[in-house]
Amino acid sequence: MELALASLLNGVTYGLLLFMLSSGLTLIFSMMGVLNFAHASFYMLGAYFGYVISTRVGFYPALILAPLAVGAIGAAVERFGLRRAHASGHVSELLFTFGLAIVIEEVVHVIWGKTPVPYRVPASLDGPLFTLYSSTFPTYKAFMMGISVAMLGALYAGLTRTRVGLVIRAALSRPDMAEALGHNVPRVFMLVFGGGTALAALAGVIGGNAFITEPGMAAALGPIVFVVVVVGGLGSLTGAFIASLAIGIIQTFAVSLDYSIQGMSLSRVAPVLPYLIMVAMLIARPRGLMGTRES
Partner 1 sequence: MKGGAWTWGAYAALLLALPLVFRSGFAMSLFCQAGIVAIFALSYNMLLGQTGLLSFGHAVYYGLGALFTIHALNLAAAGWHLPVTLMPLVGAASGLAFGIVLGYVTTRRAGTTFAMISLGVGEMVAACSLMFPGFFGGEAGISGNRSTGEPFLGITYGPQIQMYYLVAAWLLLSTAAMYALTRTPLGRMANAVRDNPQRAQFVGYDPQWVRFMMVALSGFFAGLAGGLAALNYEIVSAESLSAYTSGLVLLATYLGGIRSFAGPILGAVAVTLMQTVLASFTTAWPFYFGLVFLATVLFVPGGIAGVVHLHKRLWEARLLRRAAPVYARMALPVVVAFASGVVLVEMAYRASAGAPLKLAGWQLDARSSATWIAAVASFAVACLACRWAWRAAQPRWTEVSALIGEAR
The site for partner 1 (CB under 8 A) is made up of 29, 33, 35, 81, 84-85, 88, 90-92, 94-96, 98-100, 102-103, 106-107, 110-111, 113, 219, 223, 226-227, 229-230, 234, 264, 268-269, 271-272, 274-276, 278-279, 282-283, 286, 295
Return the axis-axis angle of helices 237-256 and 2-32, rounded to nearest 10°. 150
User: Residue 27 or residue 206: which is nearer to partner 1 going by CB?
Assistant: 27
Residues 281/231, Cβ–Cβ less than 8 Å = yes
User: Residue 84 or residue 161: which is nearer to partner 1 going by CB?
Assistant: 84
Give which of 188, 187, 199, 147 is closest to 165, Cα–Cα: 188
Closest separation between CB of residue 94 and partner 1, Å? 6
Closest separation between CB of residue 35 and partner 1, Å? 5
State the Cα–Cα distance between residues 19 and 238, nearest whole angstrom.
10
**Measured CA distances, 202 to 60, 207, 234 (Å):** 12, 8, 22
Closest separation between CB of residue 5 and partner 1, Å? 28
Closest separation between CB of residue 279 and partner 1, Å? 6
Closest separation between CB of residue 211 and partner 1, Å? 18
Closest separation between CB of residue 103 and partner 1, Å? 4
User: Residue 118 or residue 223: which is nearer to partner 1 going by CB?
Assistant: 223
State the Cα–Cα distance between residues 43 and 83, nearest whole angstrom.
22
State the Cα–Cα distance between residues 4 and 253, nearest whole angstrom.
8
User: Residue 154 or residue 282: which is nearer to partner 1 going by CB?
Assistant: 282
Closest separation between CB of residue 146 and partner 1, Å? 31
User: Residue 205 or residue 290: which is nearer to partner 1 going by CB?
Assistant: 290
User: Residue 8 or residue 279: which is nearer to partner 1 going by CB?
Assistant: 279
User: Residue 161 or residue 268: which is nearer to partner 1 going by CB?
Assistant: 268
The burial of 293, by beta-carbon neighbours within 10 Å (0-12 exposed, 13-18 middle, 19 or more buried), is given as exposed
Residues 50/209, Cβ–Cβ less than 8 Å = yes
Closest separation between CB of residue 124 and partner 1, Å? 32
User: Residue 153 or residue 271: which is nearer to partner 1 going by CB?
Assistant: 271
